[in-house]
Amino acid sequence: MAISMTSSTQSPPHNEAQLARQARASAEAFAELYHRYVQNVYRYHMAHTGNPKDAEDLTSQTFIAALEGIRSYRGSGPFIAWLMGIARRKRLLFFRDHPPEEPLESAGDVPDPAPPIDKTAAQRLQIQAVQRALQQISSDRAEAITLCIFGNLSCREAGHALGKSEAAVRMLLSRGLQDLRERTSLALEVET
């Protein structure tokens, strides 16, 4: 399975920061940010909860908190990294009372539009193998992989969300993917 990692932003970073500043007073600007990043946040939560209802609830909580705290976004890093930091805190609060049962199993239920059934089945088997392997590696490495692959963040964006340097995230990804390769028969690669 080849895993591609690309930046989730759809416009140049300066437009994103400007849009975030506008979102402090404009519902339309915040709605644009929501539309850009709702899928990233949902997939991140789905990868951790394995439950569509919980992922939807956590995604809603993430965006409510972002709307309430939009004034605290300073523009010093990518908006998606700031948003995923909120998502991460919401996830940690959620799991304080609800330990995860199968964190990645249902993440395969968010396929690209209309993939063939055989590809979906193969993806689910691969996701299950990755899910089991992620439970066996360090939490820092698993979180970096989850943010970059399921949350579709770049290493720089994941670094902002985790409070680590881009180089540290690259190292966590590299070592985490090596750990996963040793525990699965999948050929995992990340394009950075």
Query: Using one digit for the tens of pLDDT, what is the confidence trace for 50-66?
Result: 788 999 999 999 999 99
Q: Give residue 15's pLDDT.
A: 81
The alpha-carbon radius of gyration of the chain (Å, integer) is: 16
Domain boundaries, the chain: 16-183
Of 2, 44, 43, 49, give the one whose Cα is nearest residue 177: 2
What are the tens digits of pLDDT across the range 31-43?
999 999 999 999 9
Q: Give residue 16's pLDDT.
A: 83
Full-prediction pTM beyond 0.75? no
What are the tens digits of pLDDT across the range 98-150?
665 554 555 555 555 555 666 767 777 777 777 778 888 898 998 898 889 88
Measured CA to CA, the distance from residue 55 to residue 13 in angstroms comes to 27
Q: Give residue 2's pLDDT.
A: 38
For the ranges 48-52, 74-78, 152-156, 182-186, the maximum mean pLDDT occurs at 152-156
Question: Is 169 strand, coil or helix?
Answer: helix
The token duo for 157 is: 């964006």
The DSSP annotation for 16-32 comes to HHHHHHHTTT-HHHHHH
More confident call, 174 vs 134: 174
Q: What is the mean pLDDT of the chain?
A: 80
More confident call, 46 vs 171: 171
Is the Cα torsion angle 142, 48, 107, 73 positive or negative in sign? negative
Q: Are 84 and 73 in contact (CB under 8 A)?
A: no
What are the tens digits of pLDDT across the range 156-173?
999 988 999 999 999 999
